[in-house]
Chains A and B, each alone.
Chain A
C-alpha cells in the first residue's frame, strides 16, 4: 500500500547536496558508474566505472562557520584500477569494468580497498603524504646528486610539510582463480579473509596470500546441460566470521557455515518463498532472480532485491520473508517489452541505513525508492539536474499505473527505461546517501534544523 509520506517534524526531508559528473547527455561507455561504496566511517566514498577507474571522494571536516551543514564530498584520489585484457588461451575478452569495491576497516593511517572486475581482484592502498625529507647531504633539493668533494659540513635531513599528496598503489593482485565472471566480493569480520563469487563458484582468500585461494562453494554441474541456476551475489555475515550467504538466479538464498565442512555445497539454511503455481509464467524465473543480497548491520536480517521487489528475511525463518516491498509493481504489465529491450535483466542493488530502519533501492526514470520498515511507509525520489539547487528539498514522485493521471504524477508509459539507478549507498551513521545515475553521482542528505 502506498501511503504518502508526511514530512513532519520528526521525518527526514531529503535535500540535494552535490552532483558529480558531466552534464551532457552523450555518455561515454567508460563513464558509466558500476559501483558505489562508503567506507566504514563514511568519511570516504568510492565509485568504480566501466572504464576500470576508481574515484574516491572525502568528506570535508565540518567548519565552525557552517554548523548546520555537513561537509561536502570532494575528490580525494583517483586511479586506474583495472585495464582491459584478452585471454588468448580461452579467446575471452576481459572487461575492465569495476564490478564491486569493498573497503577494509581502517587499521592504520592508510586506507585499503578491494576492487574487482570480472576476473581479478586487487587490494589498493591509499595513503597520504604531507611531509617530505629535506636537507640531504648528497642530493640537491631537485634530486641531482652532489659531488661528494663539495660537501664540507654534514646536516641531519628533516621532514618539512608539503602539499598533501594522496597516493594509490596496488598492494596485492588476486588473479586466476575464477573461470566465470566475478559478481561479488565480501570482507570477512575477521579482517583477514574475504570471499569472491562468480556465477558458479565462491572462493575464500587470505588478504596476505595471492597465489592460492580455497574453493568453498561449487555449484557447477558435472554436465553443463543440466545447469539450472547460477550464483548472483554473496556476502559474509557482519559479525559471524563462519557464516556467508549466496543468492541464485532462481530466487533462493543459501546460508553456509564454514565450520560444517571445507566445501560448503550443502547449505545450512535455504531461504525460499514458495510461488503460487497459478502465477507461474514465462517471466517468473527471470523476475525472481536475485540481483543483490545484503545483511543488516545488526546481522539479524538480510535483504534481497529481485526485479520487482525488495524482501527482508529473518535469518531464523527460511520459508518466507518477513517483509516484502514492491519497488515498481506497475512494471508487471510491461514485462513483454522489458524482456525485448533486455531491461528485465537489469541488476538493481539495495542498501540499509545505519540503524537498519530504512532500506533503499533504485528504479527507472532516475527514480529511487526508500522503505521505512517500522512505519511501513515508502518514498519515491528522483535524481535529476532539475532538482539540483543547493539544499533544495526533494519532491516525492508518484507513478500513475493506470486510469486518470493526477497532476505531478508520471504515467508508466512516460518512464525513461534508459535512466536506471542500479547503485546506491547509505552513509553508515548519518542520513547521507549516494545515488548513481548512468554517469552522474548524486549526494543527498537530510535537512538539518
Chain B
C-alpha cells in the first residue's frame, strides 16, 4: 500500500515539473526574472527605479577625501606606501594617490584609425 502511495506521489511531482517547464516556455522573461532573483535575492525592490537612474546621473563623478589622504599619509610615514590596487580609478581610503595612479587625461594626439 505504501509503495502505491509513493508511486502516486512520484507521478504527481513529475506533472508539476512538466507544468513548470511549460510555463518557462510560454514566458521566458518570467523565467529569466526568477533566475536573477535566485542569484541576487537582495536586488532592489524598485526595478529600473531611482538607484539605477541616480547611477546614470552620477557618471563621471570622482571622489577624493583630503581627510583620508592626510590620515593615510600620517599612518604610512614610517611604512612603505601602499600601491594602487588593480582598479586604479578607485582612489580612496588608505591608498595614497600619486600622480602615476591618476588616469591619463591627455587628449589623443593620434589620428583616428579610420583615416587610411
Contact = CB atoms under 8 A, between A and B. Distances in A.
The answer to whether A and B belong to the same complex is yes
Interface of A: 20-22, 30-31, 33, 47, 49, 51-53, 55, 75, 78, 80, 83-84, 86, 90-96, 118, 180-181, 199-200, 224-225, 227-230, 249, 279, 281-286, 289, 332-336, 339-340, 439, 441
A187 B59 CA distance: 26
A84 B105 contact: yes
26 contacts: A33-B114, A51-B108, A52-B108, A90-B61, A91-B63, A92-B60, A92-B61, A93-B60, A94-B60, A96-B107, A229-B53, A230-B56, A281-B30, A281-B33, A282-B36, A282-B47, A283-B29, A283-B32, A284-B47, A286-B52, A332-B32, A333-B29, A333-B32, A335-B33, A336-B36, A339-B36
Contacts of B49: 228, 285
B18 interface: no
| Closest 3 pairs (CB-CB, A-B) | A285-B48, A333-B28, A51-B108
Contact of B112 (A53, A181, A336): A53
A21 B113 CA distance: 5
B29 A279 contact: yes
A335 B107 contact: no
A225 B32 CA distance: 29
Nearest to A57: B114
Nearest to B31: A333
A335 B108 contact: no
Nearest to A86: B105
B114 A336 contact: no
Nearest to B61: A92
B59 A181 contact: yes
Interface of B: 27-33, 35-37, 39, 43, 47-50, 52-54, 56-57, 59-64, 105-116
Contacts of B116: 75
A230 B110 contact: no
A340 B36 CA distance: 9
A441 B114 CA distance: 7
A282 B37 contact: yes
Contacts of A224: 54
Contacts of A279: 27, 29
A49 B47 contact: no
Given A335-B32, A336-B32, A439-B113, A91 B50 contact: no
Contacts of A181: 57, 59-60
Contacts of A200: 57
A339 B33 CA distance: 10
